[in-house]
Amino acid sequence: MAELRAELVELLPRLRRFARVLARDAHDADDLVQTAIERALAHAGQLRADAPLAGWMFGILRNAWIDEQRARGRRGRVFAAAELGEQVADPAHGAPLETLAVQDAVARLPQEQRLAVALVLVEGLSYKEAAHIMEVPIGTLTSRLARAREALQAMLGERDGA
């Protein structure tokens, strides 16, 4: 267990990044990470010795995110585009414009496409690993990824002059 905790500490920066792609808002993202850690420690016995911890944790975090989205839906708290716009304009964040534009474009993707982007483009996982975490066939993953790329390019294209 001590070993698991040490590995989790090492993994925290990547978990936070993964959650940030999904949830956008830094506080919401850290809430997701915290939920995932608590679930992981409660079910540590289910981690197979030969399975990579990162993949297992991404799966737990993904499930926590989906649960959270469903709960939000039930409460009627769905992100509106205007709400996203306000976050982009938040000067306290201080990130370069291009970074904000990309984050904003990713946040506008449908959930399943955003997940594919987070796992493959940001985390650099293989198609096989990503499809396993998303619990879909590889063909489904690649078509979501292709649609996500088209959408991102359409949203970002004007800025690049491409």
Partner 1 sequence: MTFSDETLNAYVDGELDAATRAALEAAMTTDPQLAPRIARQRALRAQVRAAFAPVLTEPVPERLLASVRGAPGRAGNVVAFQARPRPRWSWPQWGAMAASLIVGVLLGPLLLRPSAPQAPLETSGGRVLASGALAGALSQQLASSQPPGAPVAIGVSFRARSGGYCRTFLLREAQPLAGLACRAGPAWQVVALAQSELPGTGSGYRQAGSALPPAVSRTLDELILGEPLDAAGESTARAAGWKP
Nearer to partner 1, 73 or 98 (CB): 98
CB of 117 to partner 1, least distance (A): 6
Nearer to partner 1, 78 or 160 (CB): 160
In the complex, the residues that contact partner 1 under the rule CB under 8 A are 5, 8-10, 12-14, 16-17, 20-21, 30, 33-34, 37-38, 41, 95, 98-99, 102-103, 106, 117, 120-122, 124, 126-127, 142-143, 145-146, 149-150, 152-153, 156, 160, 162
CB of 45 to partner 1, least distance (A): 15
6-12, long-range: CB < 8 A, 24+ apart: 7/53, 8/37, 8/40, 8/53, 8/57, 11/53, 11/54, 11/57
Count the helix, strand and coil residues of the chain and give each as a percent rounded to the nearest 5.
Answer: 80, 0, 20
Nearer to partner 1, 1 or 78 (CB): 1
Question: CA distances (Å), 135 to each of 17, 59, 109, 152, in order?
Answer: 21, 9, 19, 23
HSE-CB at 84 with a 13 A cutoff on CA atoms is 16
CB of 1 to partner 1, least distance (A): 8
Residue 71 CA, chain-centre distance (Å), reads: 17
CB of 83 to partner 1, least distance (A): 19
